[in-house]
Amino acid sequence: MAQKFIDIRGVTYQPEGEGVMAPSYAQQHLPVREQTKAVGHAVRATYLYAGMADVLAQTGDKSLQPALDSIWNNIVDTRMHITGGLGAIHGIEGFGPEYVLPNKDAYNETCAAVGNVMFNYRMFLTKKDARYVDVAEVALYNNVLAGVNLDGNKFFYVNPLEADARNAFNQGLKGRSPWFGTACCPSNIARLIPQIPGMMYAHTDNDIYCTFYAGTSTVVPLSDGKVTIKQTTNYPFDESVRFEIKPEQSKQKFAMHFRIPTWAGKQFVPGKLYHYLNDKPAEWKVLLNGKEVSVKPHKGFVTIERAWKSGDLVELQLPMLVRYNKAISQVEADIDRVCITRGPLVYCAESVDNVAMPASYVVNPSEDISITKGAGALKYIDFITMPAHSVQDKDVHSLTLLPYYAWDNRGDDAMIVWLSENDSLANASIPKISEYISDIKATHTFDRDDVYAMLTNGYPANSFDTSIPRWTSWPQKGEEQIVEFILKRPIALQSFSVYWYDDGGGVQVPKSWSLEYKQNGEWKTFPIYVTDEYRMLKDQYNMVHPGKDITTEGLRLRIVPLPHAAVGILSVQIEEVK
């Protein structure tokens, strides 16, 4: 059945349209064997590529290999964030042009990172090449794990590499959400994480591949007998990974293959996008029963083949240096910026740990770096402190970073991954309130309220936040209201968000609402994205995206109140495609 779906993809049906109806959106623009680049919706794409790799492995259909190789290289060479995130572009939740990898405006759906793990692990199974596991590991430890908080009860749908603590980037929230209207990401995490133990090892008749590193024990059935393996480590923070090997048969001969990660070499992750400033490889070692052995990697694995005896011990020593990463010059969003990594982890600066705004810091390579443990829920996590200065506060001379996956566990704070290398860039990076709107008109405004209050662009405490001004249609209960936003210039709209006011009495969230946009002087129905809804949720922004590219001169909000109530708005946010 899977082979049938792959064979007919892009053959029996090709949609005609744009946005979600574009042929490339669901990878229907070409037969799969003729595809060479990653395009369209990132989740659909990675699931398709994973299925192609499965069919190749199960049927031996080598005609799929050239397309898979070309697509994989296109991803790691031009379209993947350093976190392993895929699908940088809003609107189609998918791949944009090559090298367009924004930070604050990155989409990087959690499901796409899950798909990245699945696709790469299947590529490893077809080729026995560790570089695919290296990509899967980066996506897993950074983008996938960032998708859920440490308590396991709040989630990211969207995973930017910068946040300003004001923009409601995560489907209407400025931090993680307990759930989503389209709840694919929480369930995808719940599906993937229990699968990881099954990815820790792979084997043939007489070969065992050690792929991911974590404290585990397993029994591997080889042709000459079973082998029990116990792995002991505190990876990804511990530099040592130990294996105790107990074959069922005395002096059983087989090969053990141990992955030497890409991050232990000259760059953090496979591909052409990123490299270390100091590309001197870490001096990793392999010890057998306490003695160092001389081995050379082949396809990213070092191999020890011998007649094993029960209790043999293998230890990998993988020095976890703090590394400064640069992107190639084609990635314009990261010019004059550096990203800090250690082992397989991307690090970020969060405002809760620092005096100044994270985007205001300037860093340059230094060896004066300290590693400390966090506190509370983060007590087992390694933090990095390094020299830096802030253009916001001239007295600040150090910067604290934590793993990207662990941010937003102590409040919805500002965060940044790619740090500035000079003062002018840091000054330009400090968040500023967007100024797209020149005027607002409303059908009716209560005489004690202010229609311009919704331009605060802040983040209200809740929907009954009376500490800030608001707009309401009181006392017009049950009467439809229209709010028109006149823009200073035409913009390519990325998203529109509204934060409702609700006092639990005369002013409540509406019964329904919709959006219109103005183009060439004509008002048109907003082409809402396929998984979005016009939601009436309290205590958060309610965000919608266009399902196709639109440039608009204005926006018009149509609001239908409940029969017994008026409506109110605390704030709106408009985001432009960058």
The DSSP element (H or E) to which 118 belongs, if any, is: helix 110-127
Give me the mean pLDDT over the 518-543 stretch. Answer: 94
Which of 192, 98, 91, 87 minimizes the C-alpha distance to 144?
A: 192
Give me the mean pLDDT over the 489-511 stretch. Answer: 95
Which residues are within 8 A (CB) of 183 and not within 5 positions of it... i.e. 6 or more apart?
none
Most confident stretch, 128-142, 163-177, 532-546:
128-142
Give me the mean pLDDT over the 471-490 stretch. Answer: 95
Answer yes or no: is pLDDT of 457 > 70.
Answer: no
SS (H, E, C) 456-473: HCCCCCCCCCCCCCCEEC
pLDDT tens-digit series, residues 220-251 = 999 999 999 999 999 999 999 999 999 999 89
What rounded mean pLDDT belongs to the chain? 94
The whole-angstrom separation of Cα 339 and Cα 275 is 10
Which of 558, 577, 573 minimizes the C-alpha distance to 456?
A: 573
Q: How many helices (H) and strands (E) does the chain have?
A: 8, 32
Cα angle 533, 539, 540; round to 5: 45
Q: Is 65 exposed, middle or buried (0-12, 13-18, 19+ CB in 10 A)?
A: middle
Answer yes or no: is pLDDT of 177 > 70.
Answer: yes
Answer yes or no: is pLDDT of 106 > 90.
Answer: yes
Contact 233, 241 (CB under 8 A): yes
The whole-angstrom separation of Cα 574 and Cα 493 is 8
Contact 121, 57 (CB under 8 A): no
Answer yes or no: is pLDDT of 289 > 50.
Answer: yes
Tokens of 193: 């994480």
pTM of the full structure: 0.86
Give me the mean pLDDT over the 285-306 stretch. Answer: 97
Contact 358, 339 (CB under 8 A): no
pLDDT at 433: 45
What is the CATH topology of the domain spanning 437-576?
Answer: Jelly Rolls (2.60.120)
Tokens of 366: 């230094």
Which of 301, 326, 275, 339 minimizes the C-alpha distance to 142?
A: 339
Per-domain boundaries in the chain: 2-193, 200-259+283-317, 323-429, 437-576
The whole-angstrom separation of Cα 39 and Cα 52 is 15
The Cβ-side half-sphere exposure at 101, using a 13 Å CA radius, reads: 27
Domain range 200-259+283-317, CATH architecture: Sandwich (2.60)
**What pLDDT band is residue 367 in, cutting at 50, 70 and 90?**
confident
pLDDT at 502: 97
* Type of residue found at 544: V
Dihedrals φ, ψ of 478, to 5°? 70, 5
Give me the mean pLDDT over the 43-64 stretch. Answer: 96
Which of 29, 138, 17, 122 minimizes the C-alpha distance to 83?
A: 138
Share of the chain above pLDDT 70, in %: 99
Q: Which residues lie across from 560 on neighbouring strands?
A: 512
Answer yes or no: is pLDDT of 481 > 80.
Answer: yes
* 3-state class percentages of the chain: helix first, strand second, coil last, to nearest 5: 25, 30, 45
pLDDT tens-digit series, residues 324-344 = 999 999 999 999 999 999 999
- Of 77-86, 238-247, 263-272, 487-496, which range is least confident? 487-496
Answer yes or no: is pLDDT of 423 > 60.
Answer: yes
Which residues are within 8 A (CB) of 512 and not within 5 positions of it... i.e. 6 or more apart?
534, 536, 559, 560
Which of 122, 156, 125 minimizes the C-alpha distance to 50?
A: 122
SS (H, E, C) 6-44: HHHCCCCCCCCCCHHHCCCCCCCCCCHHHCCCCCEEHHH
Dihedrals φ, ψ of 371, to 5°? -115, 125
The whole-angstrom separation of Cα 487 and Cα 491 is 8
Answer yes or no: is pLDDT of 396 > 90.
Answer: no
Phi-psi region of 374 (alpha: psi -120 to 50; beta: other; left: phi over 0): beta
